[in-house]
A and B are shown apart, each in its own frame.
Chain A
Amino acid sequence: MTDPSSWLLALAGAVTGVVGSLLGIGGGAFLVPLLTLFFGIPIRAAIAASLISVIATASASATVNLDRGLVNLRLGLVLEVATSVGGLAGGVLASRLSPRQLFLAFALTLAVIGILVALRSKRRNVIADLAVDPGRLGGRLLEGGKEYVYRVRRLPLAMGASLLAGALSGLLGVGGGIIKVPVLNTFCGIPIRVAGATSALMIGVTAAASAFIYYARGDVVLPLAASVALGALPASLLGARLSDRVQTRYLKILMAVLLLGVAIRMAGEVF
């Protein structure tokens, strides 16, 4: 990385990677605005670079989560049916939208994510009692030396949220965890840590489904995508470790405000 701009881009990937994984929303929500508004990179190339870095960070954090026994593989597989179809559809749709339409779609999504982050600043943990049979999709979780059992409820809702998350991922280069994790946790009875870990595992496949399309269209600018991914990779692992320790409530409220601000700024690119 001799080119100074490669270092700057890697730094952009690193900063958005830490913040994204601290907040549990992935780096894409901040990375794409930073690349387009600050570095002046065309939005399609920014989305493609973000998707590449999302694959890197999701794959790396999945290894940590598998090691901790947090991933529910079977549930992940069922939901991946929806996220991968969504990712493919989002990728195809993005190839047909103009940059203006993409900016507008991104601004709207950021505004909704900002509101979701603010609403979930005090997150809930849903854990059922030990006598419950977890069923085929549910599971057991060891936390703090205690064993918990959870059952998966409202699977169609989880599938719908996964489809939407996949489509947004393919369309805008975000991971989609911000949509899946709250739905899985709040409405489907899945413990927050399992929801986050299972979502991260799915994100790699979801992003790959659309990344092929961006790559074939020539939207993946190699040095840009590689610099950003190399910066984001160690940063997301650091963020995942910090998220267990840092009190993130006020950070989330601050970030919600920032997300809404960036949404307005991105919408400003259109009008």
Chain B
Amino acid sequence: MSGHQWLLDRVIEAVLTAGVLTSGALMLAGLALDQTPLLKWGIVVLMLTPVARVVVVTLGLALERDWAFALISLWILGVLASSLYVAAHLERPRLQTVAPRRA
């Protein structure tokens, strides 16, 4: 394993560990204190942890000048971004149908 690869592995490890620990702490606090915003942020941080990992990998590979794999990594970020886009557009009809019933 090259020095660069070793370093990149350590950075990925750090990002994943930080994401899981932060999210775990938020979720635990949210359940213990019955605080919905904490639970929500715990889950959002967890869902964004793999995205942060791909961002780090893309940057790491670009720094190594491994352009082919940096591009592949960028493509995966694109797929994740499309998922966020699709999710944002799915939300609207649901809110419209739920809101009148609550009122």
Q: Most chain-B CB neighbours within 10 Å: which of A66, A67, A88, A91?
A: A66
**Residues in B whose Cβ lies below 8 Å from that of A2:** 31-32, 34
Q: A69-B1, A222-B30 are in contact. Are A215 and B46 (CB under 8 A)?
A: no
Known: A56-B24, A73-B8. A225 touches B43 (CB 8 A): yes
- In the bound complex, residues from chain A placing their C-beta under 8 Å from that of B75 are 81
Bound CA span A52–B42, Å? 11
Interchain CB contact under 8 A, B19 and A59: yes
**Chain B, interface SS category:** helix
Known: A55-B50, A73-B57, A230-B31. A216 touches B88 (CB 8 A): yes
Binding site for A on B (CB under 8 A): 1, 5, 8-10, 12-13, 16-17, 19-20, 23-24, 27-28, 30-32, 34, 36, 39-40, 42-44, 46-51, 53-54, 57, 69, 72-73, 75-76, 79-80, 82-84, 86-88, 90-91, 94, 98
**Could you tell me which A residues sit within 8 Å of B by CB distance?**
1-3, 6, 52, 55-56, 59-60, 62-63, 66-67, 69, 71, 73-74, 77-78, 80-81, 84-85, 87-88, 91-92, 95, 140, 204-205, 207-213, 215-218, 220, 222-223, 225-227, 229-230, 233
